[in-house]
């Protein structure tokens, strides 16, 4: 059996109507899992249709990832329809817009924390017992490079993602001896519905080549690249990975800010090597 196989498993994915959530649901299904695709957007049904059209099994659940009754109901649906729950990817999230620090309202904080931080907590709280009954499995949460340090997102969003990183550390210790692993993925700039306004704005002024220019790969990420990490964390391939926050960001978080002069010197040296 492939180390990346999810055959015979059931996976629940939130935020599955688009972007990273949809890409992950499709990839999990391709790896053999039955999928419970969850989102508050009706487009989640399109994700399910794509899985079924490819020969997989999937169920759509319209839900609010920050509502406890909805989360508990989604977990119950997974167990009722497929008899077990093995993997949960708590991926749903919002930015709360891009307000400056002192323009950020308490209402924005409440909205962002409810979806981005309370949502993953509820997913862990309600999914862990079901996963334990299945003999163990994996819970994955979407954090962000914005949760690692300043400079990758607005204040409420960044703080919520820092909270997700601490949450998975706390959760994995609270689940000691259960064979339930909890990890986080920290994506860098990735083209999704959430980042579409930024991508559209940059493309409109003909500066698409500036996207991702601060990371060593000098490009933005694709949802499928984040989904690949999610599959790794969902699968037996990561059986000894627990309580970690793994950056998938083209190398952005590998460095402190570098002065342009230093970057230019590196580029000059690389050019010289090519000439030689």
pLDDT value at residue 98: 87
The pLDDT score that the predictor gives to residue 38 is 98
Among residues 38, 29, 35, 39, the alpha carbon closest in space to that of 85 is found at: 35
- DSSP designation for 221: B
Mean pLDDT is lowest, of 23-27, 155-159, 166-170, 208-212, for 208-212
pLDDT of residue 208: 65
Asked if 59 and 206 touch (Cβ cutoff 8 Å), the reply is no
CA–CA separation, 115 vs 119, rounded Å?
5
pLDDT at 133 over 80: yes
Residue 189 has a pLDDT of 86
* 157 among known catalytic residues: yes
Please give the residue that has the higher pLDDT: either 17 or 151: 17
Tell me what pLDDT residue 151 has. Answer: 85
269 compared with 143, residue with greater pLDDT: 143
Is the pLDDT score of 262 beyond 60? no
- Distance CA(227)–CA(107), nearest Å, equals 31
Choose the catalytic residue: 82, 89, 150, 157: 157
The predicted-structure confidence for 89-113, as pLDDT tens digits, reads as follows 999 999 998 899 999 999 999 999 9
Q: Tokens for 269, please give them.
A: 């040296």
Tell whether the model's pLDDT for residue 66 goes beyond 60.
yes
Q: What is the pLDDT of residues 2-41, one digit of tens each?
A: 999 999 999 999 999 999 999 999 999 999 999 999 999 9
- Summary mean pLDDT of the chain: 91
Q: Return the higher-pLDDT residue of 271 and 108.
A: 108
In this predicted structure, the answer to whether residue 255 has a pLDDT above a threshold of 90 is: no
Domain ranges of the chain: 10-275
Helix, strand, coil abundance in the chain, percent, nearest 5: 50, 15, 35
CATH class of 10-275: alpha beta
Euclidean distance between CA atoms 52 and 191, whole angstroms = 25
Q: How confident is the model at residue 188 (pLDDT cuts 50, 70, 90)?
A: very high
DSSP 4: T
Query: How confident is the model at residue 12, as a pLDDT?
Result: 98
Reported as a pLDDT band with limits 50, 70 and 90, residue 241 is very high
Spatial contact of 97 and 154, defined as CB atoms under 8 Å apart: yes
Q: Can you point out the beta strands (E) in the chain?
A: 10-14, 34-39, 58-62, 87-90, 137-142, 180-187, 245-248
Give pTM, 2 decimals: 0.90
Cβ atoms within 10 Å, residue 262: 10
Give the DSSP H or E segment for 247. Answer: strand 245-248
Quote the CA–CA distance of 104 and 83 in Å, as a whole number: 44
Residue 166 pLDDT > 60: yes
In the predicted model, is pLDDT for residue 203 greater than 70?
Answer: no
Flag whether pLDDT at 168 surpasses 70: yes
Q: How much is the pLDDT for 198?
A: 60
Overall average pLDDT of the 42-66 stretch = 98
Burial pattern 11-45, b for ≥16 Cβ within 10 A else e, equals: bbbbbbbbbbbbbbbbbbbbbbbbbbbbbbeeebe
């Amino acid at each position: 059996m492939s180390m990346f196989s999810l055959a015979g498993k059931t996976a629940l994915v939130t935020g599955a109507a688009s972007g990273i959530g949809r890409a992950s649901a499709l990839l999990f299904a391709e790896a053999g899992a039955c999928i419970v695709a969850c989102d508050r957007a009706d487009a989640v049904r399109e994700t399910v249709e794509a899985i079924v059209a490819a020969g997989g099994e999937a169920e759509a659940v319209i839900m609010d990832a920050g509502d406890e009754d909805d989360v508990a109901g989604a977990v119950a649906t997974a167990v009722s329809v497929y008899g077990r729950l093995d993997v949960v990817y708590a991926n749903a999230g919002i930015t709360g817009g891009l307000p400056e620090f002192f323009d950020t309202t308490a209402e924005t904080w409440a909205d962002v924390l409810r979806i981005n931080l309370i949502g993953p907590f509820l997913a862990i709280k309600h999914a862990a017992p079901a996963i334990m009954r299945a003999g163990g499995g994996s819970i994955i949460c979407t954090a962000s490079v914005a949760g690692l340090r300043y400079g990758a997102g607005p204040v409420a969003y960044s703080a919520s993602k820092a909270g997700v990183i601490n949450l998975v550390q706390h959760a994995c210790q609270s689940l000691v001896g259960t064979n339930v692993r909890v990890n986080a993925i920290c994506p860098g700039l990735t083209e999704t519905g959430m980042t579409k306004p930024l991508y559209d704005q940059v493309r409109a002024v003909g500066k698409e080549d500036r996207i991702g220019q601060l990371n060593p790969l000098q490009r933005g990420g694709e949802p499928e690249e984040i989904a690949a990490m999610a599959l790794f964390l969902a699968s037996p391939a990561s059986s000894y990975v627990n309580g970690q926050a793994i950056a998938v960001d083209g190398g952005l978080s590998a460095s402190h800010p570098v002065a342009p002069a230093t970057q230019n010197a590196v580029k000059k040296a690389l050019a010289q090597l090519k000439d030689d």
